[in-house]
Structure 1
Amino acid sequence: MRQKRAKAYRKLMSLYCMSFGFRQPYQVLVDSEMCKTAISQKYELVKQLGVVLQGEVKPMITQCCIHELYLQGKSEQPAVDLAKTFERRKCNHREAIPGDECLSDVVGATNKHRYVIATQSTDLRDKLREIPAVPVVHLNRSVMILEPPSNATLKAKESTEEKSMHASTSENALVASTSQSSEPPRKKHKGPKGPNPLSVKKKKTGSDAPKRKPIAEAASSPNRKREDDEQEKVQVEPSDPAHKRKRKRKRRAEGAASDGEDEVEP
């Protein structure tokens, strides 16, 4: 498959997934004509369905479609064998009806089970285009093609988007109304504003600030004690009378000694 076509198919399947809830593995209803064409052209049907739909697939077939293959005799036995490998989808038809009518009945008016239809019948494809959200696959010679979305599909997509938009707006309005009713509006407290942080002088850090000893440490330091003792001695010395007497005696003795030396000299 070419890259451009693969990109277009990927976008188309993402549309079905986002807007209509399609999920992997995709349920693919195959009709009897598709089985016969795949056998005649030696086409790997299941593998190519996975390539075109860009994901895992679960091929299915109804009992009415298999009955059509049985009616065509032994010549279509390979197609019958291929159909038997698919999962059987109950169509709840007591008597077998044509395959086109069976598939249109299974899809219904809204395709609520989200089937992908793989068919070679042009009449069935025309009917399915009138039903929204029905991906249709067919073989054109040896190329499998996923048909673009029909007008009914595009209209259904627009309506679902509008509903989702209205639902989201209504939910937001409900949430806003409940929040307003439950919590009264808070008044802003106007007080004095603080100083501009750019104009405030920075505090000095530990390295910049002058180092000062605490009062307790200064009082208990040994240098402080020595200074206090010396001050006490200085205050005590001039007021002690005994100390004064000793000094006077010392001075008298020194004076007498100096007089004796003067007399001895010739």
Structure 2
Amino acid sequence: MRFKKQKRHRKTVRFFTACFGFREPFKVLCDGTFVHHLITNRITPADTALANVLGAPVKLFTTRCILAELKSLGDSYNESLNAAQTLATARCDHEKRKSAVNCVADVIGENNSEHFFVATQDAELRKNLQEVPGVPLVFGLRNALLLEQPSAFQRQFLKSSEEARSRMTDREYKLLNMTRKNVASEELNNSSDVPDVNGNHAFAGKLIQTSTRKNIEDVKDKVQFKRKRAKGPNPLSCKKKKPRPSTNTAATGKDNSKINTTDSDTTKRSRSRKRKRSGKSNKVEETA
């Protein structure tokens, strides 16, 4: 739950910094009710607690009217008065003392030019400040501090201002028309000085030339993609070719004949040497 709350606070702070120009360190305008809430719930130090909520260093401010109102409330608010006197005082320019609600409304003005975060426990004041664009609100709930999300009016104001910024104003539209007329008149004056053979102005020819030049430049500027073609195999990954043996029929015939003759002689000799005479023939010779 705590993670979701911190994520929501970061999103709200990012909204006001991106859309309304809030910058660090953030300035927080505290009224008497908020200071009293911090003292009663022992949320101290206040600057570190607010810095944890906003995710950035802060500077705390109050006004002379708020201090005078705390002083008039009696002894029960003496501790809150002492804590508020340690804060920086924002300029309110009120000769006579006003209520804290009116003083804060005057300091904020119509568009919160000083970029104040307003910290208050007054529900009515928070409701009124939600109708002012660019005013983030901080309030306390028991011992926790919360940052209100942007109101529907603030979101609608931002959307309408973005739409108005994207369109041309009446003054810009008039200036654009004047420049167009001046350029057109200059081109007509330049073209009227050079008549054509048929009596027509050369303005049309110039327009054709400029259009053709633009077409040629567009063609040159276009990126020309190369077609992928089939490539040969990687020579480093291929095996080397083995040399083929020579096939000469004449040489092979002579060699084969020699080999055959030698083989036949060796076979004959081996057979003749291994041949043995039988014993019967010896016996016949002896008897004879």
The two structures share one fold, judged by TM-score above 0.5:
yes
Pairs within 5 Å for 1:47-86: 47-86=48-87
Q: Which whole-Å CA distance do the structure 2 matches of 1:28 and 1:152 have between them?
A: 22
Partner of 1:16, secondary structure, is helix
1:28 aligns with 2:28: yes
Residue of structure 2 in register with 1:148 after alignment: 149
Q: Which whole-Å CA distance do the structure 2 matches of 1:159 and 1:21 have between them?
A: 17
Identity among equivalent positions (%) equals 31
Q: Which whole-Å CA distance do the structure 1 matches of 2:55 and 2:166 have between them?
A: 29
Given residue 6 of structure 2, which amino acid in structure 1 is its aligned partner?
A
Displacement of 1:3 after TM fit?
Answer: 1.4
Map Cα deviations across residues 88-122 of structure 1 (whole Å, 9 max, x no partner): 11111111111011101111122122111000111
Q: Which whole-Å CA distance do the structure 2 matches of 1:163 and 1:16 have between them?
A: 19
Q: Which whole-Å CA distance do the structure 1 matches of 2:167 and 2:20 have between them?
A: 18
Residue of structure 2 in register with 1:237 after alignment: none
Given residue 98 of structure 1, which amino acid in structure 2 is its aligned partner?
S
Partner of 1:138, secondary structure, is strand
Aligned pairs, number: 184
Given residue 23 of structure 1, which amino acid in structure 2 is its aligned partner?
R
Q: Is the contact made by 1:69 and 1:76 (CA closer than 8 Å) also made in structure 2?
A: yes
Map Cα deviations across residues 182-234 of structure 1 (whole Å, 9 max, x no partner): xx5635299xxxxx9x9xxxxxxxxxxxxxxxxxxxxxxxxxxxxxxxxxxxx
Q: Which whole-Å CA distance do the structure 2 matches of 1:162 and 1:19 have between them?
A: 14
1:14 aligns with 2:34: no
Pairs within 5 Å for 1:108-127: 108-127=109-128
Residue of structure 1 in register with 2:97 after alignment: 96
Partner of 2:167, secondary structure, is helix
Displacement of 1:34 after TM fit?
Answer: 0.8
Q: Is the contact made by 1:52 and 1:144 (CA closer than 8 Å) also made in structure 2?
A: yes
Given residue 48 of structure 1, which amino acid in structure 2 is its aligned partner?
A
Q: Which whole-Å CA distance do the structure 2 matches of 1:79 and 1:164 have between them?
A: 45
Displacement of 1:143 after TM fit?
Answer: 1.5
Given residue 33 of structure 1, which amino acid in structure 2 is its aligned partner?
T
Stretches of structure 1 lacking an aligned partner (at least 5 in a row): 191-195, 199-266
Given residue 58 of structure 1, which amino acid in structure 2 is its aligned partner?
K
Displacement of 1:164 after TM fit?
Answer: 4.1
Partner of 2:96, secondary structure, is coil
Partner of 1:145, secondary structure, is strand
Partner of 2:161, secondary structure, is helix
Partner of 2:155, secondary structure, is helix
Map Cα deviations across residues 150-179 of structure 1 (whole Å, 9 max, x no partner): 121101111232234336xx9xxx8xx99x
Given residue 156 of structure 1, which amino acid in structure 2 is its aligned partner?
F
Stretches of structure 2 lacking an aligned partner (at least 5 in a row): 185-209, 220-226, 230-288
Residue of structure 2 in register with 1:38 after alignment: 38
> What is the Cα-based RMSD across aligned positions, in Å?
2.9
Displacement of 1:38 after TM fit?
Answer: 0.8
Displacement of 1:78 after TM fit?
Answer: 1.8
Map Cα deviations across residues 50-104 of structure 1 (whole Å, 9 max, x no partner): 1111211111001000111111233322212211221111111111111011101
Q: TM-score, normalised by structure 1?
A: 0.62
Q: Which whole-Å CA distance do the structure 2 matches of 1:12 and 1:92 have between them?
A: 31
Q: Is the contact made by 1:119 and 1:125 (CA closer than 8 Å) also made in structure 2?
A: yes
Q: Is the contact made by 1:39 and 1:79 (CA closer than 8 Å) also made in structure 2?
A: yes
